Amino acid sequence: MARSYNFSPGPAALPEAVLRQVQQDMLEWGETGASVVEISHRGPEFLEVARQAEADLRTLLAIPDDYAVLFPAGGATTQQALIALNFASPGQRVDYVVTGHWGRTALKQLATVDVNIAASSEDDGFRTIPARASWRLSKDAAYVHVTSNETIHGVEFRPAWGPVPDTGDVPLFADFSSNIASEPIDISRYGLIYAGAQKNLGPVGIAVVIVRRDLLERAGHPRADIFNYASQLRAESMLNTPPTWNWYVLGLTVRWMIEQGGTAEFDRRSAEKSALLYEAIDGSGGFYRNDVDPAVRSRMNVPFFLPDPALDAPFLDGAREAGLIGLKGHRVLGGMRASIYNAMPVEGVRALVGYMREFQARHG
């Protein structure tokens, strides 16, 4: 058995160097005589892990000082609910731009506010992002919410679509779960960025919230202390016991990304890897198909379809035999999907493209 190339959408492949470090530390970590998963989150050893992870994340993403960073347990969907509770008053207007499955899921977390769908590409099957000029934004909205990259539909805000949308005095909030750290981000354009860690930042079970500090003064909803971002910031994300192991693996992954060259280098690699894959699809004479508008094709998640769904199972079986896993598309879309996050080396994409050609030669 050898390690496969793992194209899972999240939980996703981690850098092998990170896994080897985690493996080595599993019974005894540092000078503690215990695993990092067994020690107190309030002891000096773990506090240093947490401090270093934040410092490294600030370096990696060039986070300005007037932005706070939270490390909550769980995933991005929980943050979608907490955003409304923290930054909108009950019944207040919030603007949502829906460009795929996760943007639509976000709407289910908004039971007590007045949701305005400012734009949606649902009618065209989430293959585009509506032009900025067509968005119907509200002047009095608490925030505007976008999904920077749609993991399932493979749609990403790219420079070919346009610059980061200008929303005037209304802060722009963005779900960056599946493309954070894949290229430099101008965080000052956003009021808040959040991401589940399990794609580009590390393991599942922890998220990251980057928020402009002045926004934390908003009253929001009456809410549980544990749901209050300002309380969590005062408690350094330790209002209750945080997911320490996940935090530590996130820290190792962020450090690995810095050592690899940071977001500029991952920008270069993402361009190379995604170009290889889209060229293989577009150059297959229609055997493989990706229907997303080329201006907004995701560099992280590449959904593609075979000419006949009956070929899906043989494609997946052959892929697994070739050491390529995690390629099955999400159930809402079907087909295939290759997720090529920062931990996926270009060699993995070359192996996939080679397998795709070989499969087409046999079944085309």
Q: List binders of a second copy among 200-229 (CB under 8 A).
A: 203-206, 222-227
198 is in an annotated binding site: yes
Binding of a second copy by 348 (CB under 8 A) = no
- Whether 65 is a known active-site residue: answer no
154 neighbors 277 (Cβ within 8 angstroms) = no
Residue (of 147, 151, 188) closest to 171 by Cα position:
188
Residue 169 CB, shortest distance to a second copy, in Å, is: 26
116 is in an annotated binding site: no
Phi-psi region of 310 (alpha: psi -120 to 50; beta: other; left: phi over 0): alpha
Binding residue count for a second copy, defined by CB under 8 A: 74
Residue 158 CB, shortest distance to a second copy, in Å, is: 25
- Whether 256 is a known active-site residue: answer no
Residue (of 26, 10, 37) closest to 242 by Cα position:
37
303 neighbors 335 (Cβ within 8 angstroms) = yes
Q: Which segment (55-63, 237-245, 298-306, 308-316) binds a second copy by CB under 8 A?
A: 237-245
Residue of 56, 95, 102, 245 marked catalytic? 102
The smaller minimum CB distance to a second copy, of residues 6 and 167, is found at: 6
- Whether 282 is a known active-site residue: answer no
Four-CA torsion 195, 198, 202, 207, nearest 10 degrees: 40
102 is in an annotated binding site: yes
Residue 77 CB, shortest distance to a second copy, in Å, is: 4
Helix (H), strand (E) counts: the chain? 9, 13
Write the burial class of residue 283 (CB in 10 Å: 0-12 exposed, 13-18 middle, 19+ buried). exposed
Taking CA atoms, 237 is separated from 183, 249, 353, in Å, by 26, 16, 42
Write the burial class of residue 163 (CB in 10 Å: 0-12 exposed, 13-18 middle, 19+ buried). exposed
Q: Measured between alpha carbons, how far is 233 from 239 in angstroms, rounded to an integer?
A: 9
Residue 46 CB, shortest distance to a second copy, in Å, is: 8
The smaller minimum CB distance to a second copy, of residues 16 and 214, is found at: 16
Binding of a second copy by 313 (CB under 8 A) = no
The smaller minimum CB distance to a second copy, of residues 219 and 310, is found at: 219
21 is in an annotated binding site: no
The smaller minimum CB distance to a second copy, of residues 331 and 362, is found at: 331
118 is in an annotated binding site: no
- C-alpha atoms less than 13 angstroms from C-alpha of 314 in its C-beta half-sphere: 13
Binding of a second copy by 12 (CB under 8 A) = yes
Among 117, 233, 239, 351, binds a second copy (CB under 8 A): 239
364 neighbors 287 (Cβ within 8 angstroms) = yes
The interface with a second copy within residues 248-307 (CB under 8 A) comprises 249
The smaller minimum CB distance to a second copy, of residues 195 and 356, is found at: 195
Binding of a second copy by 333 (CB under 8 A) = no
* Per-position x/- string for 66-105, each x denoting binding to a second copy as judged by CB under 8 A, each - no binding: ------xxxxxxx-xx--x--------------------x
5 neighbors 324 (Cβ within 8 angstroms) = yes
10 neighbors 339 (Cβ within 8 angstroms) = yes
Q: Measured between alpha carbons, how far is 29 from 52 in angstroms, rounded to an integer?
A: 16
240 is in an annotated binding site: yes
Q: Which segment (127-135, 233-241, 268-276, 282-290) binds a second copy by CB under 8 A?
A: 233-241
The interface with a second copy within residues 38-67 (CB under 8 A) comprises 38-43
The interface with a second copy within residues 101-130 (CB under 8 A) comprises 105, 108-112
Binding of a second copy by 28 (CB under 8 A) = yes
148 neighbors 156 (Cβ within 8 angstroms) = yes
Token pair, residue 134, equals 């067509």
Q: Could you give the residue numbers annotated as active site?
A: 102, 175, 199
List the binding residues: 42, 76-77, 102, 151, 175, 198, 240-241
List the binding residues for pyridoxal 5'-phosphate: 76-77, 102, 151, 175, 198, 240-241
